[in-house]
């Protein structure tokens, strides 16, 4: 069986990416890998907010200020709090992380990705350091939170899924997978600046796109990269092509989204869900 066919056979129970979302009014954002949104009482429309000296995303919407905090997957369910600083003033914010169902997937990959050689371990360490520098980078741009789907295809993997690779448990899935034919175009889901590209051991060919203020997209397993580091791209612009490079079981796009250096669920940013949330939920 061809790799792409096998890939589809494994994940055929998922539904097309064009219909993956529920109505915004029914969305619960404060889950593991979700987003906590807090209205800020401040004279400035976009005040600088910090958590442990790390700047957080703040935006203005209809003359009001909001803080968006990416909820780590490992954060406990139930009551949580974060202490933020705005203009040298300290604020203790309380919120509840609600439960969310995460599926289980079993995936077969090349054995070299399960037990890499010493040489490859050194390569992996170097690549992780490069990625850390890119994740730490601050692009002072106000992001467009109305994202579009970056590729046409079927949804083959969702954020938070517990994954087993060749029978061994791995980390929970940290993004959204879209299965499609090799060479399918990938577009920027929102505008931003390309801050890193490369061909890494696990990621294969990849692009790291900074949308601004700590909100970053990573696109991995590409067949071709169509942009360069430092390039500013617009929403909908072609940036790459779907492939099967790196730790991949078939042609697909893996799209991760980071907020305050935390992997969050990209689906929450599609179909105007975040924008609608301001209007429907935030008081």
The tens place of each residue's pLDDT in the chain, 283 residues long, gives: 334 333 333 332 333 333 333 333 456 899 999 999 999 887 777 889 999 999 999 998 888 889 999 999 999 999 999 999 998 899 999 999 999 999 998 888 888 988 999 999 999 999 999 999 999 999 999 999 999 999 999 999 999 999 888 888 888 999 999 999 999 999 999 999 999 999 999 999 999 999 999 999 999 999 999 999 999 999 999 999 999 999 999 999 999 999 999 999 999 999 888 888 776 555 4
Residue 123 forms part of a structural domain: yes
Please indicate, yes or no, if residue 196 is contained in any of the structural domains. yes
| Number of domain units in the chain | 1
CA 232, CA 198: separation in Å to the nearest integer? Answer: 17
pLDDT score of 107:
85
* Closest alpha carbon to 256 in 244, 246, 241, 266: 266
Backbone angle region of 78, left / alpha / beta, with phi > 0 → left and psi within -120 to 50 → alpha: left
Q: Is 140 helix (H, G, I), strand (E, B) or coil?
A: coil
Q: pTM surpassing 0.85?
A: yes
Q: Which domain holds residue 231?
A: 102-269
Q: Which residues contact 201 (CB under 8 A, 6 or more apart)?
A: 113, 116, 120, 123, 124, 127, 246, 247
Decide: 262 and 216 in contact? Cβ < 8 Å: no
The answer as to whether 52 is a domain residue is: no
Question: Which residues lie below 8 Å from residue 281, measured CB to CB, with a gap of 6+?
Answer: 29, 37
> In this structure, is residue 173 part of a structural domain?
yes
Asked whether residue 227 is assigned to any structural domain, the reply reads yes
137 found inside a domain? yes
Q: Which CATH number is 231's domain given?
A: 2.70.70.10
Q: 3-class SS at 120?
A: helix
Burial per residue of 68-102, b for 16 or more beta-carbon CB atoms within 10 angstroms, e otherwise: bbbbbbebeeeebebebbbeeeeeebebebeeeeb
Q: Residue 67: inside a domain, yes or no?
A: no
Q: What is the DSSP string of 219-263?
A: EEEEEEE---TT-EE-TT-EEEEEB--SS-SSSEEEEEEEETTEE
Task: In whole angstroms, give the CA distance from residue 149 to residue 147.
Answer: 7
Return the C-alpha torsion angle 253, 257, 262, 265, nearest 10: -90
**Residue 204 in domain:** yes
Whether 213 and 139 have beta carbons less than 8 Å apart is answered as yes
Q: Rounded to whole angstroms, how far apart are CA atoms 282 and 273?
A: 13
What is the bridge-based pairing of β-strands 104-107 and 162-165? parallel
């Amino acid at each position: 069986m061809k790799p792409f066919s096998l890939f589809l056979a494994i994940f055929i129970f998922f539904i097309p990416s064009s219909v993956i979302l529920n109505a915004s009014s029914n969305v619960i954002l404060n889950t593991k890998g979700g987003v906590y949104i807090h209205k800020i009482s401040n004279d400035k429309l976009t005040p600088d907010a910090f958590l442990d000296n790390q700047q957080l995303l703040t935006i203005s919407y209809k003359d009001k200020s909001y803080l968006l905090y990416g909820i780590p997957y490992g954060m406990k369910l139930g009551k949580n709090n974060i202490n933020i600083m705005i203009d040298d003033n300290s604020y203790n914010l309380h919120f509840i992380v609600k439960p969310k169902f995460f599926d289980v997937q079993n995936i077969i990959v090349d054995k070299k990705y399960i037990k890499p050689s010493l040489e490859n371990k050194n390569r992996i360490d170097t690549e992780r350091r490069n990625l850390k520098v890119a994740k730490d980078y601050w692009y002072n741009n106000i992001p467009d939170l109305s994202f579009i789907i970056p590729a046409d295809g079927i949804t083959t993997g969702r954020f938070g899924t517990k994954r087993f690779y060749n029978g061994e448990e791995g980390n929970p899935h940290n993004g959204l997978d879209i299965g499609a034919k090799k060479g399918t175009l990938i577009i920027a889901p929102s505008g931003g600046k390309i801050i890193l590209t490369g061909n890494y051991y696990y990621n294969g060919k990849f692009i790291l796109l900074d949308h601004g203020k700590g909100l970053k997209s990573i696109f991995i397993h590409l067949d071709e990269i169509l942009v360069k580091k430092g390039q500013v791209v617009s929403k909908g612009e072609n940036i790459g092509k779907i492939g099967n490079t790196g730790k991949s079981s078939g042609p697909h796009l893996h799209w991760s989204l980071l907020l305050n250096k935390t992997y969050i669920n990209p689906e929450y940013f599609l179909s105007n869900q975040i924008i609608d949330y301001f209007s429907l939920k935030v008081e």
